[in-house]
A and B are shown apart, each in its own frame.
Chain A
């Protein structure tokens, strides 16, 4: 679908066909998510599709950006593209001519634009994604505050056992915090044998979590319970 762009793109300065745009550039994705662009006969649909296909198309995508910037220099709707493309272009450290032309436009149109949001750094991405996932899960089913030493009861939907919910009761031996994969380890003596199960707290399979009681413990991880009498891990 780069070929959709090509007829016009070929006339423009062919640049940076060897460059790769790192897919992590959030600036790029925000461009794609902004409103409808003014089309100049260059099809807009090429861009999102190109974006999904990865690096080798990105070169053509970038050409299309350049095409559009130069074609629509007078169109103020493109200030956003230019501005983002400006960063992309500058970060590549490659193009000289277009940059100068566009930076003038950028300066003029910056006052018109709303203040920019702070740039998201690479290191923050996982934290943000995790927080979003946790919030999404919390809105569907709030999780009570669970700490080591709580005796909890979990109702779990097991896909293999579709008839009714499995109930797991036991003492929380540990809680490992890892964003969306925050897990708790439940221990219980079942039919004479100690069983420990690790549950991801934000799993959609968990239908209900209830804190039944609490035992005072002076540890964050109760691994000592494995060596103790079974009586200490038994919960009716």
Chain B
């Protein structure tokens, strides 16, 4: 119990650090190794960074993308952030093709995201919605639940397309 609490708090602490320090990506990778060696096998879910493969949950044509860079000068991306990504897999008939570099908004993250009332939300997968440079979604439908955090980040257009609001 104490160990699980400690790992939970260390996770929260690490998420608070997000965006600070050049050693952050090193930190997150080592923490992941440590966590898998932990006998309690608490899953340490960390940020979305370069080389992270994410699922695309709109009907823009892409299936998976790989993150190239988080935007806004951040070192890592979290729920609600925008990233630059490269399309890895795409439907043959779609608006985007494989290898294309696109912008995307993270709508589901496996890392817990704290809210202002003390609650935390986490999803089972990492998912994005492709957007253009202005922030408007490329597709016309969004599948799966999306969190309220998008409203704060001014992605209201994605919220309106969503099928469920978590």
Give residues in A with beta carbon < 8 Å to B.
158-161, 166, 176, 181, 183, 190-200, 203, 205, 220-221, 223, 226
B118 contacts across to A, CB distance below 8 A: 181, 183, 200, 203
Chain A residues closer than 8 Å to B148, beta-carbon distance: 158, 160-161
Flag whether B108 is at the interface (Cβ < 8 A).
yes
- Contact status of A221 and B4, CB under 8 A, knowing A181-B118, A194-B123: yes
Interface residues on B, range: 20 to 34
A193, B117: Cβ atoms closer than 8 Å: no
B94: chain A residues within 8 A (beta carbon): none
Closest to A190 in B: B145
Q: List 25 A-B contacts (CB under 8 A).
A: A160-B152, A161-B165, A176-B5, A191-B143, A191-B145, A191-B164, A193-B124, A193-B127, A194-B124, A196-B121, A197-B119, A197-B120, A197-B121, A197-B166, A198-B119, A198-B121, A199-B119, A200-B117, A200-B119, A203-B117, A203-B118, A203-B119, A205-B117, A226-B43, A226-B124
Residues of chain B within 8 A (CB-CB) of A198 are 112, 119-121
B151 at interface, CB cutoff 8 A: yes
B124 and A191 contact, CB distance less than 8 A: no
Among B118, B148, B152, max chain A CB count under 10 A is at B118
Shortest Cβ gap from A46 to chain B (Å): 38
- CB proximity of B123 to chain A, nearest CB, Å: 6
Q: Check B123 against A193 for contact (C-beta < 8 Å).
A: yes
Interface string of B42-54 (1 = CB under 8 A from A): 1100000000000
**Bound complex: CA A211 to CA B11 (Å):** 29
A195 near B120 (CB under 8 angstroms)?
no
Q: Which residues of A contact B151 (CB under 8 A)?
A: 160
Cβ–Cβ contact B144 & A192, under 8 A: yes
Provide the bound-state CA to CA distance between A199 and B122, in Å: 12
- Chain B: minimal CB distance from A61 (Å): 36
Q: Which residues of A contact B164 (CB under 8 A)?
A: 190-191
A182 CB to closest chain B CB (Å) equals: 11
Please name the residue on chain A nearest to B149 by beta carbon: A160
Q: In whole angstroms, how far apart are the Cα atoms of A161 and B69 in the complex? A: 31
